[in-house]
Amino acid sequence: MNNPVKILAKICSQFGIEHAVICPGSRSAPLVFAFNRNKNIKTYSIIDERSAAYMALGMAQQLQKPVALICTSGTAALNFYPAIAEAFYQKIPLVILTADRPLELLNQQDGQMINQVNVFGNHVRGSLNFDSILRTSHSELRTFLNKSMFPVMGPVHINVPLVEPLYENLEEEILIENLEKPLNIFGDFDNKNIIDALQQTQKRVIIIGQNLPNQELLATLKELAKKDFAILADVVSNQHESSVLKHFDFLVSQANIETLQVLEPDFIISLGGPVLSKALKLWLKKQKPKYHFRIQQDETLVDTYNNVTEYIYGNNIEVLKSLVNAEFSSSTYAEYLGLMELKSQRKIAEFINQNNVEFNELVTVNFVLKNLPKNSQLQIANSASIRYVSYIGLPDKNITAFCNRGTSGIDGCTSTAIGAANMTKEIVTLITGDLAFFYDRNAFWNNFVPNNLRIILLNNHGAGIFNLIDGPNSQPELEEFFLTKHKLNAKNLAAENGLSYNLCKNNDEFANALATFYDVSEQAKIIELSFDMDKSAAIFKAFKKIEL
């Protein structure tokens, strides 16, 4: 009766799925057997479903192709939801397989059963109920799996009702037709409107939000930068190297009214996911450019700044490449932004040098970024960590950078980093805050914590972000309901999980620990930095008062 599950695993393998993250359970036994016994799929047993889902997300983030995620029936599936929502908005391909009891038992007081059909609602690109009796057709499965990759990547959900016996022999070979792998087909587009707009404008900006690494896109953006396009690439766009204004978060926040007026663009091309900088988003929402072209392949129209004038449905690289040889008048706009970038860099460096005696978060994150190994990967937790990195910017060391900015939650940042580190031999550095770290401590509850992982834990013993942002810090509930102070540290966690550990409370201790932090090791490493929350907040507030 459950042999069709083996067909499902084989079709997933033919589709290109090479990794499956599996959470233990009984109802899911046929799925476990089918995927674990498929010689083309590597499986990972992860106990905590929420952590497992984020780990799968980190793996798929690196591979840029689907990873299978499997659980038993009932609330196990609901624990996948936060990571699935993140994958949906970040456009990360996952194939979620949830074991289920026969649907005729639903609401009949049968154990461990909830309504799992379409349980992830609008946060997946498709849902399918795999009926092991009707045996969903091979072509239907292939077409459905294709939704995880095209027209845009994202999660898909297959609910798998399974009848007993669950542990029958699944060893017999099942033959299925050879299924071709998915093809990425882009429709033609006409760039005449963009060319006409370029010929009528002078202040031309290309804004790149969160994106996966792509060397062809980077090379194309560098070519366009030579043609007086001002490139603004988010810190997790993985196109940061092409940006003429790397510190736009700092500039837009600190510049005076006159400077901001000079910066107002009349031509915008936007692409990719969300932009981190709240200051940039608020400023762009005030702009009324003559033209704003949004490049996308998703059917959902994105107009973050409320000023898109035309949507271009096509591949980012294809559209931008068509502009490399376009003819239009030159401009000094990008050159001006380049000068403002140099001024921003100087102001930031001056402030860092003036405040490097006091042990604080901003200066320490700057030190971490400057000491990242070349050609390595940076994973950044949400909340204060990503804000510090956005303000300081990445070093020119060919660093790829990732953060769960789809939903911007803190709940699976460590698990995502562990998943990513399993897919690369590069050093992976995670910069994380204490609440994000301790909330996701089950990320280490598995046998797949790789020795190329390095964690910088910024522990200010509470949700220090609320001391940094306007609003909560002026309310009487700040102490109890926002800062949530605690006394935790990572020493015991590191010992329990066999991780190298250093606790640093001043600059000298940190410099000594960092000196050997990236040496080859048989175990992952943690440096925990213990900060005074109020001192760090005071320095960051002074930083935000710098005038340009």
Q: Which of 135-144, 249-258, 344-353 has the lowest mean pLDDT?
A: 135-144
Between 31 and 190, residue with greater pLDDT: 31
Per-residue confidence at 115, pLDDT binned at 50, 70, 90?
confident
pLDDT at 285: 93
Overall fold of domain 192-338: Rossmann fold (3.40.50)
- Alpha helices by DSSP H, listed for 148-235, are 192-198, 215-225
Per-residue confidence at 181, pLDDT binned at 50, 70, 90?
very low
Residue 389, token pair as written in the block? 């990195």
pLDDT at 109: 61
Pairing of strands 428-433, 67-71: unpaired
Checking if the pLDDT of 213 tops 70, the result is: yes
User: Amino acid identity, residue 172?
Assistant: E
CATH code for the domain defined by 3-161: 3.40.50.970
Q: Average pLDDT in the 91-117 region?
A: 85
pLDDT at 547: 86
- 8-state DSSP, 322: T
Considering the chain, what percentage of its residues have pLDDT values greater than 70?
90
Residue 224, token pair as written in the block? 């366009």
Q: Average pLDDT in the 62-90 region?
A: 96
Overall fold of domain 355-543: Rossmann fold (3.40.50)
Q: Average pLDDT in the 247-274 region?
A: 94
- Quick one: angle between helices 29-36 and 3-15, nearest 10? 40
Q: What is the pLDDT of residues 338-393, one digit of tens each?
A: 999 999 999 999 999 999 888 999 999 999 999 999 999 999 999 899 999 999 99
Checking if the pLDDT of 211 tops 50, the result is: yes
Which residues does residue 268 pair with via DSSP β-bridges, in sequence order? 205, 292
CB neighbour list of residue 143: distance below 8 Å, 6 or more residues apart: none
CB 50 within 8 A of CB 83: yes
CA distances from 94 to 56, 128, 330 (A): 8, 14, 44
- 8-state DSSP, 70: E
Strands (E), 234-376: 267-271, 291-296, 310-313
15: left (phi over 0), alpha (psi -120 to 50) or beta: alpha
Q: Do domains 3-161 and 355-543 have the same CATH topology?
A: yes
pLDDT at 415: 98
Tell me how far apart the alpha carbons of residues 100 and 121 are, in angstroms, rounded to a whole number: 17
Q: Average pLDDT in the 20-28 region?
A: 91
Find where tokens 């590597």 sit.
42
Considering the chain, what percentage of its residues have pLDDT values greater than 90?
75
Q: Average pLDDT in the 7-18 region?
A: 93
pLDDT at 535: 92
pLDDT at 345: 95
Q: Tell me the average pLDDT of the chain.
A: 90
Domain ranges of the chain: 3-161, 192-338, 355-543
Per-residue confidence at 500, pLDDT binned at 50, 70, 90?
very high
Per-residue confidence at 25, pLDDT binned at 50, 70, 90?
confident
Tell me how far apart the alpha carbons of residues 307 and 268 are, in angstroms, rounded to a whole number: 9
Per-residue confidence at 294, pLDDT binned at 50, 70, 90?
very high
Tell me how far apart the alpha carbons of residues 302 and 286 are, in angstroms, rounded to a whole number: 17
Closest to 8 measured CA to CA, from 93, 123, 115, 98: 98
Checking if the pLDDT of 188 tops 70, the result is: no
What count of residues does the chain have? Answer: 548
CB 381 within 8 A of CB 433: yes
Which residues does residue 99 pair with via DSSP β-bridges, in sequence order? 160
Q: Which of 165-174, 274-283, 476-485 has the lowest mean pLDDT?
A: 165-174
CB 365 within 8 A of CB 393: no
Q: What is the pLDDT of residues 437-478, one digit of tens each?
A: 999 999 999 999 999 999 999 999 986 666 666 666 666 666
Please give the span between the terminal C-alpha atoms of the chain, in angstroms, as a whole number.
71
Could you give the angle at the alpha carbon of 403 between the alpha carbons of 399 and 407, nearest 5°?
Answer: 160
In the three-class reduction of DSSP (H, G, I as helix; E, B as strand; rest coil), residue 193 is classed as helix
pLDDT at 1: 39
